[in-house]
């Protein structure tokens, strides 16, 4: 795969994840601007994640008819237009609808992007290319939050989305440079194929692991701004955005995860280590000091992306004709966890407090570690070593 094409794909990944998470540090400001409660404002993240739990399957099917490049370009232009609409909206219900629309556009980008990278890279380079893709997506999650926070503090929240619109339009232009005639040799998708993939124990367990891990991760990220308000930290949008600086640790972790795996006995062992690190991060979030929460974000991101940076490389080894469905299912489980985590644990937080909320996340991570442990002795997991 040409370096120029890889860089364009990385830029696209950065902007996709910026689109998903840019509103997060702005939630208190948006709640005030539209005169809605904090919990209602939090739906701006939930509704954008929810479609990602089902739409990737449909886009995996669509890739049977369209090239990954064609789907990438079309979806990127739609995303740019949606940012323009968000910047102009005056009604919260319309804003929610636009965020839902973005949630429908994003999986087209993610599924086609992962499929393009998996099909373009040589078999020996797939794990490395996917790890780089994850690193770009992690950086995008941080950059989207930081840039939106800084721009909102200085120029207002609407300018944050205008900036995203311009950057995304530039990306759509650059994507035209990708290899035009690349086609993936898919077998005709069917629900039987989905069942076939889900009946493979390695895939199903990995899907459940990312559901639980990202659900816990997304939950902390979504409720952290409200925890900061509860602690009366006095942070503005930029200050809240900077609390997500731990995402930079996720970039580093994604880039070194394969090296770590070589030193501790394989990918499964490394992902188990990731769950242990994530669990340790919850202890930091149990504190009330701002510096503890700040460090906790670094620890949590290190753990989360030891898991997430390795899983796509596993699912993309082999199964070329089913790759669109395999990637679609991965994204579906990942964001089903995110949508669930960004919403349901909030009821526990409201009714029983922050520590009970953190305990529920700890239980989810313990279950994820158990699922990974069962893979260590599986004959079907030998290729994970």
pLDDT tens track for 36-91? 877 788 888 888 888 877 765 666 666 666 677 788 888 899 999 999 999 999 99
Q: Beta-carbon neighbour count of residue 46 at 10 Å?
A: 22
Q: Domain count for the chain, please give it.
A: 1
Q: Per the domain annotation, does 382 fall within a domain?
A: no
pLDDT the model gives residue 81: 96
pLDDT the model gives residue 382: 46
Q: Per the domain annotation, does 244 fall within a domain?
A: yes
pLDDT the model gives residue 279: 95
pLDDT band at 381 (very low <50, low <70, confident <90, very high): very low
**What percent of the chain shows pLDDT beyond 70?**
87
Task: Give the domain CATH number at 93.
Answer: 1.20.1250.20
Q: Per the domain annotation, does 385 fall within a domain?
A: no
Q: Per the domain annotation, does 17 fall within a domain?
A: yes
Q: Per the domain annotation, does 168 fall within a domain?
A: yes
pLDDT the model gives residue 370: 92
* Measured distance CA(366)–CA(1) in Å, rounded: 38
pLDDT tens track for 148-160? 999 999 999 999 9
Q: Per the domain annotation, does 14 fall within a domain?
A: yes
pLDDT tens track for 192-246? 777 877 777 788 888 999 999 999 999 998 888 889 888 988 888 889 889 988 8
Range of the domain at 295: 3-178+189-376
Average pLDDT of the segment spanning 110-130: 74
* Measured distance CA(92)–CA(370) in Å, rounded: 42
Per DSSP, the residues of 278-338 read: HHHHHHHHTS-SHHHHHHHHHHHHHHHHHHHTTHHHHHTSS-GGGHHHHHHHHHHHHHHHH
Note whether 136 and 7 are within 8 A (CB). no
**Helix, strand, coil share (%) of the chain residues, nearest 5:** 85, 0, 15
Q: Per the domain annotation, does 384 fall within a domain?
A: no
**Residue 187 in this model has a pLDDT that exceeds 70:** no
Q: Per the domain annotation, does 226 fall within a domain?
A: yes
Tell me the pLDDT of the chain averaged across its residues: 83
């Amino acid at each position: 795969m040409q370096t120029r094409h890889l860089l364009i794909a990385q830029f696209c990944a950065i902007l996709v994840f910026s689109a998903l998470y840019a509103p997060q540090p702005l939630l208190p400001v948006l709640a005030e601007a539209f005169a809605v409660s904090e919990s209602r404002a939090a739906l701006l993240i939930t509704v954008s994640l929810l479609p990602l739990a089902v739409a990737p399957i449909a886009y995996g099917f669509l890739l049977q008819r369209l090239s990954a490049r064609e789907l990438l370009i079309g979806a990127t232009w739609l995303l740019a237009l949606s940012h323009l609409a968000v910047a102009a909206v005056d009604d919260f219900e319309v804003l929610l609808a636009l965020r839902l629309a973005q949630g429908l556009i994003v999986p087209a980008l993610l599924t086609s992007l992962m499929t393009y990278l998996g099909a373009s890279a040589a078999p020996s380079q797939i794990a490395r290319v996917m790890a780089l893709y994850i690193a770009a997506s992690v950086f995008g999650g941080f950059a989207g939050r930081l840039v939106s926070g800084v721009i909102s503090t200085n120029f207002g929240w609407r300018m944050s989305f205008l900036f995203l619109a311009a950057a995304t339009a530039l990306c759509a232009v650059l994507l035209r440079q990708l290899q035009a005639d690349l086609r993936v040799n898919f077998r005709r998708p069917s629900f039987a194929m989905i069942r076939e993939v889900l009946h493979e124990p390695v895939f199903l367990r990995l899907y459940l692991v990312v559901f639980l891990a990202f659900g816990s991760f997304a939950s902390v990220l979504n409720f952290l701004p409200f925890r900061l308000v509860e602690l009366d930290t006095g942070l503005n949008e930029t200050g809240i955005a900077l609390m997500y600086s731990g995402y930079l640790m996720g970039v580093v972790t994604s880039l070194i995860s394969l090296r770590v795996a070589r030193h501790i006995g394989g990918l499964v062992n490394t992902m188990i280590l990731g769950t242990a690190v994530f669990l340790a991060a919850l202890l930091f979030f149990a504190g009330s000091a701002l510096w503890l929460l700040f460090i906790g974000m670094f620890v949590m991101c290190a753990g989360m992306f030891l898991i997430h940076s390795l899983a796509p490389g596993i699912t993309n080894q082999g199964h070329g004709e089913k790759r669109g469905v395999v990637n679609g299912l991965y994204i579906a489980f990942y964001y089903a966890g995110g949508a669930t985590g960004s919403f349901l644990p909030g009821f526990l937080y409201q009714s029983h407090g922050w520590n009970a909320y953190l305990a529920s996340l700890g239980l989810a991570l313990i279950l994820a570690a158990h699922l990974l442990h069962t893979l260590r002795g599986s004959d079907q997991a030998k290729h994970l070593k």
